[in-house]
C-alpha cells in the first residue's frame, strides 16, 4: 500500500535556505512520489527512502532500503538527545549540514586519517576503517551514537563485532557501504541484529551520499516532530 508524508514543508532549519531552493526540492520529492507509485514502506520510513532516491536519481532504493522496526524512532530520539555521529569517512561529516546538526546539538566524528589509526592498521595488518571504529569505541563514542558507514565494509563488520562481542549499544547503525568485496555481506550481517536498530541498503549499492541523505531525512523528521510538540 502506498504511503506518503509531507516533504518537510514548514521546517525552517532542515529546509533549503531560499524559496527557490525549497520549491525545487519539494517539486523533486513530488516527482519521486509520482514515479514511484505504490510502495511498501510505512509513513515513518518513506521520507528517508524518498530522500535517498532524490539524492541519487536511483529508484532501485525503493526496495533495496531496509529498516529495523525501531530504526526511525531510535534515530529521532538520538537526534533529539544530541547524539554523536561517528562516520567511517570524512565525506559523510562534510556532507552533513552544520546548521541542521547544531540545531540539535549533534556532533560528528571520523578518525580514518588519524596518525595513530593508520599506524595501528599497519601494525595489525587490518584496515584504517577497522581501527577508526576501535578508536571510537575506546573514546566511548559508539554507545548511544549514530554510526554512519557509507564507504568501508570493514568498518561495518567491526561495528557488528563490537555489538556482539563487546556489548556496544549504538542508538542506530546507518550501514550503506558500497563496493564489491564484503559490502553486501557486511550489511546482511548487520541486518541480523535484533536489539540494535539499523538502516541498510541491500546488495552492492550504497555510498556516503546515501548515508548523508538518510540522516538529513531523519533531521527533517526530527524538526517536524519537535515543532509538533511545541
Q: What is the pLDDT along the chain (230 residues), one digit of tens a residue?
A: 333 333 334 787 877 877 887 888 889 899 999 999 899 999 999 999 999 999 999 999 999 999 999 999 999 999 999 999 999 999 999 999 999 999 999 999 999 999 999 999 999 999 999 999 999 999 999 999 999 999 999 999 999 999 999 999 999 999 999 999 999 999 999 999 999 999 999 999 999 999 999 999 999 999 998 888 86
pLDDT, residue 34, reads 94
Whether pTM exceeds 0.85: yes
Task: State how far the alpha carbon of 7 is from the alpha carbons of 18, 27, 35, 101, 223, in Å.
Answer: 16, 10, 16, 19, 12
For residue 18, being part of any structural domain is answered with: no
For residue 11, being part of any structural domain is answered with: no
CATH assignment at residue 216: 3.40.50.10230
For residue 118, being part of any structural domain is answered with: yes
Active site residue 54: yes
The contacts of residue 218 (CB under 8 Å, 6+ apart) are 48, 72, 75, 76, 79
For residue 57, being part of any structural domain is answered with: no
* Catalytically annotated residue among 39, 54, 103, 216: 54
For residue 100, being part of any structural domain is answered with: yes
- DSSP percent split of the chain into helix, strand, coil, nearest 5: 50, 10, 40
> For the chain, what is the domain count?
1
pLDDT, residue 23, reads 86
Q: Which three cell numbers stand for residue 89?
A: 569517512
pLDDT, residue 1, reads 31
82/156 Cα distance (integer angstroms): 23
Q: Range of 99's domain?
A: 64-228
Write out the H or E segment, with its range, that includes residue 63: helix 61-64
129/152 Cα distance (integer angstroms): 6
Identify which of 100, 83, 56 has the alpha carbon closest to the alpha carbon of residue 219.
Answer: 100
pLDDT, residue 228, reads 86
Amino acid at each position: 500500500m502506498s504511503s506518503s508524508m509531507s516533504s518537510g514543508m514548514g521546517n525552517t532549519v532542515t529546509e533549503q535556505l531560499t524559496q527557490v531552493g525549497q520549491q525545487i526540492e519539494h517539486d523533486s520529492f513530488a516527482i519521486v512520489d509520482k514515479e514511484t507509485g505504490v510502495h511498501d514502506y510505512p509513513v515513518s520510513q518513506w521520507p528517508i527512502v524518498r530522500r535517498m532516491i532524490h539524492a541519487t536519481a536511483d529508484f532501485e532504493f525503493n526496495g533495496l532500503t531496509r529498516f529495523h522496526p525501531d530504526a526511525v524512532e531510535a534515530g529521532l530520539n538520538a537526534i533529539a538527545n544530541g547524539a554523536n555521529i561517528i562516520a567511517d569517512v570524512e565525506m559523510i561529516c562534510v556532507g552533513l549540514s552544520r546548521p541542521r546538526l547544531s540545531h540539535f546539538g549533534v556532533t560528528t566524528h571520523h578518525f580514518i586519517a588519524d596518525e595513530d589509526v593508520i599506524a595501528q592498521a599497519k601494525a595489525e595488518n587490518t584496515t584504517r576503517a577497522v581501527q577508526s571504529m576501535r578508536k571510537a569505541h575506546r573514546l566511548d563514542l559508539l554507545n548511544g551514537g549514530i554510526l554512519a558507514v557509507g564507504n568501508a565494509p570493514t568498518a561495518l563488520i567491526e561495528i557488528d563485532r563490537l555489538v556482539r562481542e563487546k556489548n556496544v549499544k549504538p542508538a542506530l547503525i546507518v550501514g550503506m557501504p558500497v563496493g564489491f568485496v564484503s559490502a553486501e555481506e557486511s550489511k546482511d550481517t548487520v541486518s541480523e541484529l535484533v536489539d540494535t536498530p539499523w538502516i541498510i541498503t541491500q546488495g552492492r549499492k550504497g555510498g556516503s551520499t546515501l548515508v548523508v541523505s538518510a540522516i538529513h531525512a531523519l533531521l527533517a523528521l526530527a524538526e517536524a516532530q519537535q515543532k509538533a510538540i511545541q
